[in-house]
Structure 1
């Protein structure tokens, strides 16, 4: 085989990964900019007169936008099963850019009154619809682009790109917080990351238009109907829910809610934790492919079981330790959590794709996954903040631990090892 023939497949696969990843990074950059800056812009938009009420309102919108994710997963996922993954991914990155732009240009409550939160909600709902469809198409696109013995490795780039977007969000937020005065940050500085996100979406759109389609439609195959995945494959749909519960609550707890929880309860301030978060996210991004490669060799189940089991036992002590830790201790705890969490994130795309057949794969993953994320992941910051306002912040750790136990039972007793089997047709 010539060197040219060897290089061409490598280049093609790399192009598929980059095309998928750049759009995914932009999608999640916008998502996490909102969570990082919620405490800054909430008083400008909601104007409740109470800082806790304003933050609760901002996180309620964050949670509400997740409610459209299952709809996006179903509608856009079915679209990906019908017209292909590539065209669908172009659509999702375009709508995410629009949602980000709307939020960045939202007028203040003082300027337009109640229309301010209405406009903000509209922008976030567009983003929620887009992200639900994004995961449905992007997960399948990545795994279908992979050689059979590298699906875990390719799967890991789902969260490599997600984390890259989050790093950009965290880094830009930290930069703005440290160079702008609190008054400037509150008045106009918080808008900058959202407008940057809208511009970055144009880059993602351009790159995705050059990717290759992975869906092969057979001439005799009937185009799937909207609810075919749920009606014809109910057990795989339920299995995806069980697989996802622990991973999503852990992911949003560790990468989103900690930005609010630690400064309020720990020994570091918001600026310091943004630095910790940036370091931890970089580590998290680097470790993903390693776990993905190991899962291709050792299987998916050991990593899923380890992730859910360790957090089930350790989440309550870990959250308690944050209350007594300074910068170094907080960084160590955060890094250890990221390492354990990688047991789910690096391989979740592969696990989901290996559960359900090709012709309904995007919708079959998109709806149950996004529904689970909406119920347990998107609500994590709100539940944590609400429990704190009730004077029982410690209950949040037990809530997370209980959900980890649910998925742990699924991993042990219901999930079959799929790493070394072909994708279901």
Structure 2
């Protein structure tokens, strides 16, 4: 594409359609974690609530590790069959999984068939999430004018943050309106049904999306590639290493602030859960609001300076911020807001940054495989790791671990070329 020289109008419907699947993915994953305490004994034998909850989270974690497989399979599908077909498939998989969970029979009704069906639904959603992350990232990057790719990319995490915020607020509202018996009986099914409705709306929006020009131009070349995963390592080892390096810190930031810090603040620092929720909600709103301005800044001043500020300040501040996690609302707002505001320097341009690493014929697969592997290894283990270290009386070790990841990311980012305004290969 040529650089824009006339006033530019964002394709709002196209951006909403592209982002809708991502919003559904994160809405569903958030409500599963939020409402699991209510439906755990619906799908697993009653009598040992702790064991039922552990099994429910084990199902959550197992599905999480299907993300890399989904990234490979659906990423290859997106490279050879099209970004649009892949995005239609991922939203169907996620919506179907959400509806299945909403109507699943309980353990008392069908025995062990109930948790088996739950696991299958979650596996389908795990595969979907792996494909959605890569397909949407690539689509947003490829439809954008070269000098506005950061701004288009920002819609990926605008949808993510909005979905997480809506899901957590919904959890708070339902648990406040319904008593525990109603929540355990049927209340937890409501958000999963809502997820199915969101999926249908997203599917309707996506049906009219145009395919990207870059895909059409490179479709034949992509189909000729044999052993594409091996090709990414053989022909683009530097890109793979760079993606792993900055994604490690990115996923640790996400799961530290959106997942791991909440139980840490409640269990280890004795903060009130409602106070922690309020602080995180305020910070999430800031996170959403900063995405587009930071995408604009990356288009104006470059990706590399922004990413160096993010990784450098995270290395310096993450440990001091951890010491400020106390029961006080002001401290918690400060910790969550500073951490997530810094993180927007990365999230606002993540789809653009990743897409600029690989050629079109390998782009969705390259992102899908290596980004999702990094998320599974480092992001998926973050809540478990901080909990285990806290139980061992070593909570500070986790934040030193994040500091080390930030140093690695800073060094990796130094090796990146500046791609502001560059045409995609």
- TM-score w.r.t. the length of structure 2 is 0.90
Partner residue of 2:71?
Answer: 73
Q: Describe the shift of the 1:34–1:228 C-alpha distance in structure 2 as closer, same or farther (beyond 3 A).
A: same
Residue 260 of structure 2 is aligned to residue 257 of structure 1:
yes
Partner residue of 1:326?
Answer: 328
Residues of 1 paired with 2:424 and 2:413: CA distance?
19
Residues of 1 paired with 2:263 and 2:35: CA distance?
10
CA-to-aligned-CA distance 1:192-249 (integer Å, 9 cap, x gap): 2112101210000000001111022358635154632542333322221112110011
Alignment of 1:180-199 (within 5 A): 180-199=178-197
Residues of 1 paired with 2:109 and 2:333: CA distance?
41
Q: Describe the shift of the 1:344–1:46 C-alpha distance in structure 2 as closer, same or farther (beyond 3 A).
A: farther
Q: Describe the shift of the 1:417–1:327 C-alpha distance in structure 2 as closer, same or farther (beyond 3 A).
A: same
Tell me whether 184-193 or 224-233 shows the greater mean CA deviation: 224-233
Is the 8 Å Cα contact of residues 82 and 224 (structure 1) preserved in structure 2?
A: no
CA-to-aligned-CA distance 1:73-125 (integer Å, 9 cap, x gap): 11111111111111111110000011112333344445444444333222211
Partner residue of 1:143?
Answer: 141
Partner residue of 2:227?
Answer: 227
Q: Describe the shift of the 1:228–1:299 C-alpha distance in structure 2 as closer, same or farther (beyond 3 A).
A: same
Match of 1:387 among 385, 389, 395: 389
What is the count of residue pairs matched by the alignment?
416
Is the 8 Å Cα contact of residues 318 and 403 (structure 2) preserved in structure 1?
A: yes
Partner residue of 1:339?
Answer: 341
Is the 8 Å Cα contact of residues 86 and 212 (structure 1) preserved in structure 2?
A: yes
Match of 2:277 among 274, 277, 299: 274
Residues of 1 paired with 2:43 and 2:262: CA distance?
20
Partner residue of 2:85?
Answer: 87
CA-to-aligned-CA distance 1:108-164 (integer Å, 9 cap, x gap): 445444444333222211111001000111001001111110111111111001111
Tell me whether 300-309 or 26-35 shows the greater mean CA deviation: 300-309
Match of 1:10, SS state, is coil
Q: Describe the shift of the 1:81–1:317 C-alpha distance in structure 2 as closer, same or farther (beyond 3 A).
A: same
Structure 2: stretches of 5+ with no match in the other structure = 1-5
Is the 8 Å Cα contact of residues 32 and 256 (structure 1) preserved in structure 2?
A: no
Match of 2:173 among 172, 175, 178: 175
> CA shift at 1:295, angstroms?
0.8
Tell me whether 101-110 or 396-405 shows the greater mean CA deviation: 101-110
Partner residue of 1:416?
Answer: 417
Partner residue of 1:311?
Answer: 314
Q: Describe the shift of the 1:218–1:158 C-alpha distance in structure 2 as closer, same or farther (beyond 3 A).
A: closer
> CA shift at 1:43, angstroms?
4.6
Residues of 2 paired with 1:380 and 1:254: CA distance?
10
- TM-score w.r.t. the length of structure 1 is 0.90
Partner residue of 2:401?
Answer: 399
Q: Describe the shift of the 1:259–1:34 C-alpha distance in structure 2 as closer, same or farther (beyond 3 A).
A: farther
Q: Describe the shift of the 1:217–1:165 C-alpha distance in structure 2 as closer, same or farther (beyond 3 A).
A: same
Match of 2:211, SS state, is coil
Is the 8 Å Cα contact of residues 303 and 419 (structure 2) preserved in structure 1?
A: yes
Partner residue of 1:240?
Answer: 243
Partner residue of 2:355?
Answer: 353
Partner residue of 1:286?
Answer: 289
Match of 2:31 among 30, 33, 44: 33
Residues of 1 paired with 2:29 and 2:136: CA distance?
16
Q: Describe the shift of the 1:188–1:300 C-alpha distance in structure 2 as closer, same or farther (beyond 3 A).
A: same
